[in-house]
Structure 1
Amino acid sequence: MADRRTFNVVILGVGFLFIFTAFTTCGNVEQTVVKSLRNVTLGGTGYHSLGIIYGVFSFANLLAPAVVAVIGPRVTMILSGLLYSGYVAVFIIPSTWSFYLTSVLLGVGAALLWTAQGHFLVENSEASTINRNTGMFWALLQCSMLFGNLYIYLDWNGKTEISDSSRKNLFLSLLVASALGTLSFLALRRSRGDEDELLSEEEGQSLLSTRVIYEHRANAAMREAKSEFKTILQLLRTPTILLLSPCMAYSGLELSFYSGVYGTCIGATAQFGDAARGLIGISGIVVGVGEIVGGGLFGLLCTNNRFRRTSVVFLGMVVHFVAVYLIFLNIPDDAPVVFATATRGKPFLTPSVSVALLCSFLLGLGDSCFNTQLYSILGFVYAEHSAPAFAIFKFIQSVFAAVAFFYSGYLLLKWQLLLMVALGFAGTLCFFAVERTQSFSADLQEY
């Protein structure tokens, strides 16, 4: 039984590795590709597409638990994987209507996929294995930032323009990766809980028809969804969630920046010359390395205690502020603007590839600092209501990521960085306040 559960977790991680190799790479180069297709076959911007995805994703999270409860996590992940594949396929034969339609559908698919993933991971874990299983899944997921971006570097390095053949080859490869990830979910096996439930249903076939059983499941799922929604509304009014909201919001801003905006800025920096396009891929790889290093150090190797969380969040703030300052000095101010094919402005320093890649690593490392500790404190404070608490986290994070993607194509880089610094500082202070409150409560209970 333990081997079966471990097998399921590994297959789950491999499936996400392939799917997010496609999606992460797509998001990293999307705005650059859309710029090359502007006024030809595709209107709009990559920023708007990503903003729609995260906006729909944030609200679809509220309905996803009911869907997963009715059709099961395995089927849900397969259907969601098909929606991811459809979004990637749009760039092979691009058109404006399909670009935005699949953006909406992918927002729904993302909510279903992540809800089903959390349900399936918990279903195949015990108290003694949840940390190990989460660590294995996290490591496999973060490796998705390596392979697709390596392809970008090898194929685009030295190119000033993205040809149709180069674009089609890239997205065909990403489509194959996404399809393989979706098909891998077919290999997932039933857990013991599912088998017991199925056996009890088979034994009860003489009393209830299959239709009645599924209607009972659907009704139970709707009751559960209503209960979860009420709990979410109750938690939204708690002081802890209110104080953590700025930190959650900051995680959304920096998510949009490192996953879509910064790669575009590097690719648009004229001072990098012919190497600029290829550097988008290398930047994505280095961000992934920072995520993996941070996840390993702060998610697996460190023991949980109330002092470590504040230290790690403070480190994340310092790391991000260093990255923001270096980006301000190293990247032209008009780099993220959607209507600029190449930058005209000059930064304070001569743009350096080494500094740009160092900032990529720092962005990934700082992101892992904030996310691991947000998960840790939410799991600690809301151990009995973890699903609604994490749903609130994803909701706030996704809303601010969507907002950031919508303004990223129009605000100059310095204003985007200033917003990140202000919200990051406020979020860190609020996190400290929550941690101090929890420490005081724990000491009081012990006394």
Structure 2
Amino acid sequence: MSPEGKSLLNIIVLGIGFMVMFTAFGTCGNIEQTVIKSFNSTEFHGSGYTSMAIIYAVFSTSNLIAPSVIAVVGPQLSLFFSGLVYSAYIAVFIHPYTWSFYTFSVLLGVGAAVLWTAQGSLLTVNSKDSTIGRNSGIFWALMQFSLFFGNLYIYLAWHGKTHITDKDRQTVFITLTVISLVGNFLFFLIQKADPEAASAPTEASESLLPAEISDSSSVAPSQGLGSQALEAFKRSIELAMTKEMLLLSLPFAYSGLELTFYSGVYGTCLGAMTQFGEDAKGLIGLSGILIGVGEIVGGGVFGILDKCNRYGRNPVVFLGLLTHIVAFYLIFLNIASDAPVAPEEGTQMQAFIQPSVAVALICSFLLGFGDSCYNTQLISIVGYLFRDDSAPAFAVFKFVQSIMAAVAFFYSNYLLLHWQLLIMVLLGFMGTITFFMVEWSVIRSRRDSDYGGI
């Protein structure tokens, strides 16, 4: 097999591994607050929102050490061992205790940092400047099939249920634990990339980085493991201070807020809408399916059209913002404002319009599609700008994204829906502007490089 073919196969295997594993974890995150509300036990006093806040808070700080772990262990084993922590967190819900629930929330935060930094590193190593956009789209589309399969199961299992029994919970989470373990072992199918499969950074990408960072190659093999870990940590700090990373921190932050909303808050809102009748709990799964469809459509289209895009990444990011604003406005009209914080019996407040299941599900698709617009382009531009420092660069990306997700999960315990939507609109607008600024500098540098070669 040619080096480029092997690299593409690695991207596909990486995407399928994440798809299987996040079929389990994504479904877990989508339903856990609803499950916890239905769980009556004197041994358990936990909140799904609080758990997710802990996960993302630890995730954010752990991103600073994740490159050091990957430098020592390697990206493939990093994926496997961090994936095992995901499986353990899911298994906690088979019979939850408060101490185990929050302990594994902390451990999962560490595992998530290692997992996503390793993913970004493998994606970059197996891509060239000409294929990074395509590969980002392929990976994203494959991974987002997880939302389809997991939530289809929830919809079929919980359709017509108004209360989740202990047997319902145990059946679901035993199944999800087994699925996640299968995904972990798929990571061993990823092959070592051939050196010639990835090209050196282009002049355009090098010109955007400070000399001390763009010239830094991989740590010399002769250095000890401690030196490699320290060097990886130092690079993360250096990259975080570059102009490009500072500008990209706003779209990174927005991606964290909207990740929180579509992965945890919106499903909880639908399950709390008594106006949807007995189908309200089942809508959590159906909504997750349509979020996944939106993610798959967006990732697939932007991956296929990447080589045909003459205007850079900005139009795709703008489309993502526009899609999300439409979705947020419809959700504002269609869902009661206290739905995120309503008790198990649901909200009694009225929305601005007669609540519509069709509108709610259209918004689910729009949330997924807009998220794919943002994330495929963020992965693409980080991989392009920081090819030689992919692990530290993606660690910074995930640091900002996850700390904002932690903040969002924390305030989701208290803020009404319209305030959450307003925060996302404001940060999304500012983040789009700063992304434009970075992408314009990329396009400008490409043109200067082309003229210099004439």
More deviation, 107-116/355-364: 107-116
1:77 aligns with 2:79: yes
Residues 51, 129 of structure 1: CA spacing in aligned structure 2 closer, same or farther, 3 A cutoff?
same
Who is 2:182 aligned against? 180
Give the aligned partner of residue 432 of structure 1: 436
Cα distance in 2, alignment partners of residues 441 and 69 from structure 1: 31
Distance in 2 (alpha carbons) for counterparts of 1:176 and 1:21? 11
DSSP-derived class of the 1:347 partner: coil
- Structure 1 residue 356, shift from structure 2 partner: 0.3
Question: Hey, what's the Cα distance between the residues in 1 that align with 2:439 and 2:10?
Answer: 35
Higher relative contact order, chain-length normalized (CA < 8 Å, sep 6+): 2
SS of equivalent residue, structure 1 residue 318: helix
Residue-by-residue CA offset, 1:253-308 (whole Å, 9 max, x unaligned): 00100000000000111100100010000100100110111111223323376734
> Which among 29, 46, 49 is matched to residue 47 of structure 1?
49
1:293 corresponds to which of 285, 292, 297: 297
**1:259 maps to which residue?**
263
CA distance in 1, matches of 2:432, 2:126: 34
Match of 2:379 in 1: 375
Kept in 1, the 8 Å contact 2:134–2:302? The answer is no
The structural deviation recorded for 1:131 is 5.6
1:273 equivalent in alignment to 2:300: no
| Count of aligned pairs | 425
1:363 aligns with 2:367: yes
Report if the CA contact (8 A) 1:131-1:300 is conserved: no
Of 419, 424, 435 in structure 1, the residue corresponding to residue 423 of structure 2 is: 419
1:26-105 aligned at under 5 Å gives the runs: 26-37=28-39, 40-105=42-107
* SS of 1:75 mapped into structure 2: helix
- Contact (CA 8 Å) 1:232, 1:392: kept in 2 or not? yes
> In 2, are the aligned partners of 1:158 and 1:278 still within 8 Å (CA)?
yes
Matched with 1:235 is: 239
**Residue range with higher mean Cα deviation, 235-244 or 154-163:** 235-244
1:126 Cα shift? 6.0
Structure 2 counterpart of 1:180, which letter?
V
**Are 1:141 and 2:132 matched, yes or no?**
no
The alignment status of 1:310 with 2:349, answered yes or no, reads no
Q: Secondary structure at the match of 2:161?
A: coil
- Tell me, in whole angstroms, the C-alpha distance in 2 between the residues paired with 1:61 and 1:32: 29
Question: 2:236, 2:192 → 1: CA distance?
Answer: 30
Q: 2:172 aligns with which of 170, 174, 177?
A: 170
Deviations 1:176-221 (A, max 9, x none): 101211233344555567xxxxxxxxxxxxxxxxxxxxxx979534
CA distance in 2 between counterparts of 1:110 and 1:375 reads: 17
What is the aligned partner in structure 1 of residue 108 from structure 2? 106
Aligned equivalents of 1:135 and 1:436: distance in 2?
Answer: 21
Q: Structure 1 stretches of 5 or more lacking a match?
A: 194-215
Tell me which moved more, 153-162 or 57-66. Answer: 57-66
* Structure 2 unmatched ranges of 5 or more: 196-219
Q: Residues of 2 paired with 1:125 and 1:240: CA distance?
A: 21
Mapped pair 1:24 → 2:11:
no
TM-score, with length taken from structure 2: 0.86
TM-score of the aligned structures, taking structure 1 as reference length: 0.87
Change (3 A) 1:158 1:218: farther
Deviates more, 1:323-332 or 1:67-76: 67-76
Local SS of the residue matching 1:115? helix
SS of equivalent to 1:69: helix
Distance 1:387 1:306 in 2: 28
SS in 1 for 2:94: coil
Q: Is the 8 A contact 2:71 2:232 kept in 1?
A: no
Residue 330 of structure 1 corresponds to which residue in structure 2?
334
| Alignment check: 8 A CA contact 2:297 2:369 kept | yes
Question: What is the SS of the residue equivalent to 1:91?
Answer: helix
Inter-CA distance 381–5: structure 2 relative to 1 (3 Å threshold): closer
- Alignment match of 1:320 (pick from 318, 324, 331): 324
The whole-number CA distance in structure 2 between the counterparts of 1:408 and 1:339 is 14
Amino acid at match of 1:241: M
Code of the aligned partner of 2:372: S
Is the Cα–Cα contact under 8 Å of residues 36 and 161 in structure 1 kept in the other structure?
A: yes
Which of 394, 397, 409 in structure 1 is aligned with 2:398? 394
* Contact 2:134–2:307 (CA under 8 A) maintained in structure 1: no
Cα distance change, pair 442–192 in 1 and its aligned pair in 2 (3 A): closer
Residue by residue over 1:101-140, the C-alpha shift from the partner in whole angstroms, topping out at 9 and shown as x without a partner, is: 1111111111222233334445555667666654443332
CA distance, structure 2, for counterparts of residue 98 and residue 250 of structure 1: 31
Residue type at the aligned position of 1:246: L
What SS is found at the alignment partner of 1:303?
helix
1:58 aligned partner, one-letter code:
S
- Shift of the alpha carbon at 1:412? 0.4
Out of 157, 160, 179, the residue aligned to residue 159 of structure 2 is: 157
CA distances 1:115-166 after superposition (whole Å, capped 9, x unpaired): 3333444555566766665444333211111111001100111110001111
1:245 to 249, 252, 273: 249
- 3-state secondary structure, aligned to 2:307: coil
